[in-house]
Structure 1
């Protein structure tokens, strides 16, 4: 019997069981409607930095023919399977035994990063994390085509694209220049709008999103266990009552096998863990970088850097033998023993959208005057206002964390609000606002839908990357 596929299946079902339930995905930063709007914002060319490109554009495009919430479910499941494949491949690359292969599988699929990020709604970042070991082993095994496709899949989210680029370039045995070029191409859906967009994060966001201590291990202990997310509400209860200690013990055990881990993976782990710890130690320095260096806001949520260590962890686990391999497996599970129960909020929700309003808007930009950006589900958990995804909106982007303004409202939103308060319909039309919704009233202007050509072009280029990889393999 092949134990690896069976064990991978058990872990995946235990983690992702909520996704089999009916409804639409709505949890904190994640809102995937069945039919999201194919708007400039979804394509990354709206009023805000393109933090969700090409993910939202892809879902909106596919949502015209398939329920996008089920597409997202399929992508998450495929990411988990790819993560399992990468773990087994990397384990064999390291000459693993059967038990150490199972330990490697467990480390990839079942860890605090996966659970905490899913609870925060960062599903595409979790996919990217699962893909990093596959990218690494494909590169080190001289299989650039596999690495390139995995890099492309990881680039659904900007942070995933960067992590995949770093991993791909660091581990490429050959074609490093091509790997770098492909990684840059994968970044175009958010990189190009970022060069055009003038907005950015504020320095205070570094402290607001700083790595957070977890029970009995502090922030450094949480980080080496691949935890430490800034939002306490996204942390499983077990992490606060002592089970985070298992992550520290696991890290210490993996260190004993570090000499057998390929050097590129150790470098990646050093960058990831070192960067996260630095952000915790010196949030002021990180804040300065965020405020002055374009694009640095991508790493303000610094605990996510720890996922760069995942390939090294897997390789170290694969290098353990006998009792040590069994202990790695047990400690990996004990880091988040309540993962299946903790992930219950991932269950899809009934989400109501006013379809008559969607039909009336007909692709025009909408100014939602008195609609909150965030609302609460029936169980009290925060979610994004469905109208923000169902309609092409004038995006505010204002965000406060614990009373600290970490993202200021967008200039266009401020101008549109000022124009509406002055009832200056000509100014609203000049701003491209086609519909205003205020206090239950709907007011239309003469403005038509905003251009989407740039966003659609960038999405098309991104979608064609796998075809380019296939052609490159035969040259």
Structure 2
């Protein structure tokens, strides 16, 4: 218990400062707007649903940034608890005595690994929550506890990638056909908030985006070694300094030590690890294949960031850590896990909440109408120079560009409505802007109303958000009814 508290505290302590969450891709205001984009029906792909809709609703009652902090810390604690549970479960099955060192090693691998640290530094907080929930989903599935596994899948489905990978974990580790079907149905139900708008938009991504988001090599171990250690995120700026100094080698050593227990590890978890590591490796070795998929297959853009697939290996790594026969081996696993990212507590200070500048007068003036900022990129900078998401895109309904340039290459082109609005504004064609649903144009110090009223929120988006919020209660009701029968 003490070790779990220390682990969780070491990673999450910066979040406890006052302010709002703003670090690279993480921008969580206390009161975000409930807009079409927050419901998955905005100008860009539905990558942030249902999380943005949930936060917009929650922000009406409590500060959404504090809710996210609770979710992050809670998920880290659940990862530690699930690692201990999985260790007890698998050691009993393998005929091994309970082992506190093995449990501590499993907790360390679950809570503190390069994937978690790098994704936190990139601001992918909901993906980190999903990764922390995977050991619990695996343990519940292996133990024949489909209700707990289903709740874990729903929690992971705050983000589309989390929904997909948690569902795969639950289905693979489920005991029996009935539980597998149930896990698949829960995963599908939890994915509807992003599946439906994705299908309606038939959204794809440019093939160049696959290469831009391919896994990245790390010092002394290359790309393959980085992936084996659960590292290798595409953005070198979101990597702890220790990894660039060669500490990634400890991740490869950790993999080799863990592999000594592979015969005792449940086969479904090993298969998931092979799928995750193999899939991530494929996106590195065959970017052309991945590029074709993301350009021609709707929804395949979910895996263009191929490194995230290593998430699937986390349950196996946790299980292997807990299955060490000798206490000295468990202690070695713990030490190697820490040595992979020894500077994580210091590096994660970048997550310290900040004061986020939002033009409250403009928010009130817009009154829910769509706002267009000509030439604005959708990015801003924090006081210390760190690039963050433009707070305006979360504080109001904004015509979003969605354009993304990596190393001088256009990875994602701007959205059609943003382009059309820019052309209309260049002609000062307010009637055309109104047709596009733009109510307010803010060009530097110039603020112009077009006469367009606020667009109603998309009913399908509201219904899908309500569906997702009701899912855990429906699952609990079904479980209660079965117990009565």
Give the TM-score range, shorter chain.
over 0.9
Q: Which residue of 1 aligns with 2:403?
A: 398
3-state SS of paired residue (1:94): helix
Q: Which residue of 2 aligns with 1:37?
A: 33
3-state SS of paired residue (2:418): helix
Structure 1 distance, partners of 2:202, 2:411, is 16
Q: Which residue of 2 aligns with 1:373?
A: 378
Q: Which residue of 2 aligns with 1:352?
A: 357
Structure 2 distance, partners of 1:354, 1:472, is 46
Q: Which residue of 2 aligns with 1:58?
A: 54
Normalised by the size of structure 1, how large is the TM-score?
A: 0.98
Q: Which residue of 1 aligns with 2:465?
A: 459
1:196-253 deviation digits (Å, cap 9, x = unpaired): 1144211001111110011100011000100000000000000011110000000011
CA displacement at 1:427 relative to structure 2: 1.3
- Maintained 8 Å contact 1:211/1:279: yes
- Maintained 8 Å contact 2:378/2:400: no
Structure 2 distance, partners of 1:199, 1:306, is 24
- Structure 2 counterpart of 1:46, from 42, 47, 57: 42
Q: Which residue of 1 aligns with 2:95?
A: none
3-state SS of paired residue (2:87): helix
1:405-426 deviation digits (Å, cap 9, x = unpaired): 1111111111111111112211
Q: Which residue of 1 aligns with 2:367?
A: 362
3-state SS of paired residue (1:271): helix
CA displacement at 1:34 relative to structure 2: 0.8
Alignment of 1:419-458 (within 5 A): 419-452=424-457, 453-458=459-464
CA displacement at 1:370 relative to structure 2: 3.4
Could you tell which deviates more after superposition, 445-454 or 145-154? 445-454
- Count of residue correspondences: 471
For structure 2, the residue ranges without an aligned partner over 5 or more in a row are 92-97
- Structure 1 counterpart of 2:83, from 82, 87, 95: 87
Structure 1 distance, partners of 2:375, 2:446, is 11
- Over 3 Å off, 4+ runs: none
Q: Which residue of 2 aligns with 1:206?
A: 210
Structure 2 distance, partners of 1:407, 1:199, is 12
Alignment of 1:207-286 (within 5 A): 207-286=211-290
3-state SS of paired residue (2:321): helix
Q: Which residue of 2 aligns with 1:168?
A: 170
1:22 aligns with 2:5: no
Structure 2 distance, partners of 1:105, 1:164, is 19
1:301-335 deviation digits (Å, cap 9, x = unpaired): 11111010000001111110221111000000000
- Maintained 8 Å contact 1:399/1:407: yes
CA displacement at 1:120 relative to structure 2: 0.1
- Maintained 8 Å contact 1:199/1:410: no
- Maintained 8 Å contact 1:370/1:439: no
Structure 1 distance, partners of 2:426, 2:29, is 31
Q: Which residue of 1 aligns with 2:2?
A: 6
- Maintained 8 Å contact 2:39/2:50: yes
1:99 aligns with 2:101: yes
- Maintained 8 Å contact 1:35/1:64: yes
1:318 aligns with 2:322: yes
Structure 1 distance, partners of 2:472, 2:48, is 20
For structure 1, the residue ranges without an aligned partner over 5 or more in a row are none
3-state SS of paired residue (1:10): helix
Structure 2 distance, partners of 1:65, 1:434, is 28
1:441-466 deviation digits (Å, cap 9, x = unpaired): 11112222223222111100000001
Structure 1 distance, partners of 2:377, 2:144, is 50
1:192 aligns with 2:188: no
1:253-276 deviation digits (Å, cap 9, x = unpaired): 111101111011011001100001
Q: Which residue of 2 aligns with 1:134?
A: 136
1:408 aligns with 2:421: no
3-state SS of paired residue (1:242): helix
Structure 2 distance, partners of 1:322, 1:82, is 24
Alignment of 1:375-390 (within 5 A): 375-390=380-395
Structure 1 distance, partners of 2:227, 2:431, is 52
- Maintained 8 Å contact 2:204/2:297: no
3-state SS of paired residue (1:443): strand
